[in-house]
């Protein structure tokens, strides 16, 4: 009987030795939570966060600490030492939007840092940190909920009279003025078309679309709860130029007046007129009406064209046709008939206002031609009969005309 007892005692001792470590090991697995009298304070590195991104969330646990803001929550009622909780104290986290990574963390010097990781859901995330009987909540605006302000710009702000394309940019910021990226911005316009009615903000918080329009347009941008903002893209008035020649049909060497008109609202910075004969004239900036003149030196039909350019660089043109005949010249002798060896005066006549460079009178009696700046010249015939006189006229600029007359010599 004694022998059996002696054999059993080592087994009990062995069993007892094995049991103690097992009990201790089980105690290590029980999480260390904040003791009574602990305050949790909760902060985020930003009060807004973009979609599909993350921010740091920081929690501090202090025994008998002071609530310093950053959220709302509870503390335990028993006063503590006013020191950080023991290292390794477990703090757990939850959120209503996105997820917390990691969802549990152990303190070091009373503090833990985790991350709020967002997805594609916008709204206000309520984050809760808790340990033992203490807890704290914090709200962070996510995605479009973070959008507080929008500013909209157009480049260019003004288009020519024919319209065109302008880049519309909407910059979205949060309450603190920081850019909000990765959120949709909706665009609308009362004129023209948009390349994209919805666009996401980039890393700088800017979303863009292209407006194509032929009329002045107002573009509106909205994002989340931010107040809608508009910008205007101006389209210049049609220039509507006209050009009228007066007279529209005349002879070489006769000045033609060109009357040019444009729309009253047009801002013309340059007008260029091409007369159709190789000559042109730059009129510069003009008002609603302008006038200039030109003399054609050759006969034919000419197309005059005026091209006007407004302040935006838009151009429009108008044309008119001018018919030019050869320079008309009449020639007369006085007296006619005339006595032999007596002078007669030859007179050449051209249209009024024609500037003449020279008149050349040629006679059929073998005398030398006479070239003069005057339209008259005397001549004496020494033989009886009917004589032929010709005049060739050269206008300033090169237009020419010719005519003949008969002189009866008695």
Two tokens, residue 83: 């020191």
Residue 79: pLDDT over 50: no
Residue 33: pLDDT over 80: yes
Q: Does domain 147-235 have CATH number 2.60.40.10?
A: yes
In this prediction, residue 273 carries a pLDDT of: 97
In this prediction, residue 234 carries a pLDDT of: 87
In this prediction, residue 18 carries a pLDDT of: 41
In this prediction, residue 80 carries a pLDDT of: 46
Residue 5: pLDDT over 70: no
Strand partners, 38: 63
If you average pLDDT over residues 2-23, what whole number do you get?
Answer: 40
Q: How confident is the model at residue 401 (pLDDT cuts 50, 70, 90)?
A: confident
pLDDT tens figures, 192-208:
999 999 999 998 999 99
Integer angstrom CA distances of residue 146 from 15, 116, 169 = 63, 15, 19
Residue 58: pLDDT over 60: yes
More confident residue, 10 or 122: 122
Residue 17: pLDDT over 70: no
Residue 408: pLDDT over 80: yes
Mean pLDDT of the chain: 87
How far does Cα 366 stand from its chain's mean position?
78
Within 10 angstroms of residue 228's Cβ, the number of other Cβ atoms is: 12
In this prediction, residue 175 carries a pLDDT of: 82
* Non-local CB neighbours of 97 within 8 Å, separated by 6+ positions: 118, 121, 123, 124, 125, 126, 142
In this prediction, residue 14 carries a pLDDT of: 39
- What does 222-241 look like in DSSP terms, one character per residue? E-TTSPPEEEEEEEPPP---
Task: Please report, in angstroms and rounded to a whole number, the separation of the first and last CA atoms in the chain.
Answer: 193
* Non-local CB neighbours of 273 within 8 Å, separated by 6+ positions: 243, 258, 260, 280, 281, 283, 292, 304, 305, 306, 307
Q: Is the N-terminal amide bond of 337 cis, ω within 30° of 0?
A: yes
Domains 38-145 and 330-409 share a fold: yes
Q: Residue 11 is inside which H or E element, if any?
A: helix 2-28
Q: Could you please state the CATH topology (level 3) that the domain comprising 38-145 is classified under.
A: Immunoglobulin-like (2.60.40)
DSSP three-state, residue 328: coil
If you average pLDDT over residues 32-39, what whole number do you get?
Answer: 92
If you average pLDDT over residues 42-59, what whole number do you get?
Answer: 91
Q: Are 226 and 150 in contact (CB under 8 A)?
A: yes
In this prediction, residue 71 carries a pLDDT of: 61
Q: What is the CATH number of domain 330-409?
A: 2.60.40.10
If you average pLDDT over residues 84-106, what whole number do you get?
Answer: 96
DSSP three-state, residue 6: helix
Residue 352: pLDDT over 90: no
- The overall pTM is greater than 0.75: no
Integer angstrom CA distances of residue 36 from 63, 65, 105, 109 = 8, 11, 19, 18
pLDDT tens figures, 107-163:
999 999 999 999 989 889 999 999 999 999 999 999 888 888 999 999 999 887 778
Two tokens, residue 187: 């665009």
Two tokens, residue 365: 């009696």
d(CA 58, CA 111): 7
d(CA 276, CA 190): 43
pLDDT tens figures, 248-267:
988 888 899 999 999 887 78
In this prediction, residue 224 carries a pLDDT of: 85
Task: Give the residue extent of every domain in the chain.
Answer: 38-145, 147-235, 242-325, 330-409
CATH superfamily of 242-325: Immunoglobulins (2.60.40.10)
DSSP three-state, residue 3: helix
In this prediction, residue 252 carries a pLDDT of: 82
404: left (phi over 0), alpha (psi -120 to 50) or beta: beta
In this prediction, residue 351 carries a pLDDT of: 83
Which of 45-49, 125-129, 355-359 is most confident? 125-129
Q: How confident is the model at residue 30 (pLDDT cuts 50, 70, 90)?
A: confident
In this prediction, residue 68 carries a pLDDT of: 62
d(CA 179, CA 173): 4
d(CA 358, CA 379): 18
Two tokens, residue 59: 């929690």
């Amino acid at each position: 009987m004694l022998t059996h007892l002696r054999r059993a005692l080592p087994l009990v001792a062995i069993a007892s030795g094995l049991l103690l470590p097992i009990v201790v090991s089980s105690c290590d697995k029980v999480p260390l939570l904040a003791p009574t009298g602990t305050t949790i304070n909760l902060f985020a590195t930003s009060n807004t966060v973009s979609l599909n991104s993350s921010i740091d969330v920081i929690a501090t646990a202090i025994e008998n600490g002071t609530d310093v803001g950053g959220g709302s929550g509870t503390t335990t009622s028993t006063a503590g030492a006013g020191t950080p909780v023991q290292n390794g104290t477990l703090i757990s986290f939850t959120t209503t939007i996105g997820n917390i990574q990691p969802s549990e963390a152990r303190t070091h010097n009373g503090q833990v840092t985790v991350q709020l990781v967002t997805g594609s859901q916008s709204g206000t995330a309520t984050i809760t940190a808790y340990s033992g009987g203490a807890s704290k909540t914090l709200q962070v605006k996510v995605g479009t909920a973070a959008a507080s302000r929008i500013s909209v710009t157009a480049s260019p702000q003004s288009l020519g009279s024919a319209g065109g394309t302008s880049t519309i940019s909407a910059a979205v910021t949060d309450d603190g003025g920081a850019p909000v990226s990765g959120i949709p911005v909706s665009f609308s316009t009362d004129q023209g078309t948009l390349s994209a009615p919805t666009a996401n903000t980039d890393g700088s918080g800017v979303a863009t679309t292209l407006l194509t329009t032929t009329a002045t347009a107002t573009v509106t941008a909205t994002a989340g709860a931010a107040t809608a903002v508009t910008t205007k893209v101006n389209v210049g008035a049609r220039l509507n130029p006209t050009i009228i020649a007066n007279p529209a049909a005349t002879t070489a060497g006769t000045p033609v007046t060109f009357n040019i008109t444009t729309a009253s609202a047009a801002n013309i910075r340059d007008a260029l007129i091409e007369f159709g004969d190789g000559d042109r004239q730059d009129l510069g900036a003009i008002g609603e009406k302008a006038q200039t003149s030109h003399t054609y030196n050759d006969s034919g039909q000419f197309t005059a064209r005026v091209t006007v350019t407004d302040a935006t660089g838009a151009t429009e043109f108008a044309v008119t046709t001018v018919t030019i005949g050869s320079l008309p010249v009449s020639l007369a002798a006085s007296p006619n008939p005339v006595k032999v060896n007596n002078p007669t005066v030859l007179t050449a006549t051209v249209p009024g206002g024609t500037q003449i460079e020279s008149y050349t009178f040629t006679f059929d009696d073998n005398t030398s031609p006479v070239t003069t700046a005057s339209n008259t010249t005397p001549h004496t015939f020494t033989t009886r009969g009917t004589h032929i006189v010709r005049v060739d006229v050269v206008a300033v600029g090169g237009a020419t005309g010719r005519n003949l007359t008969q002189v009866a010599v008695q």
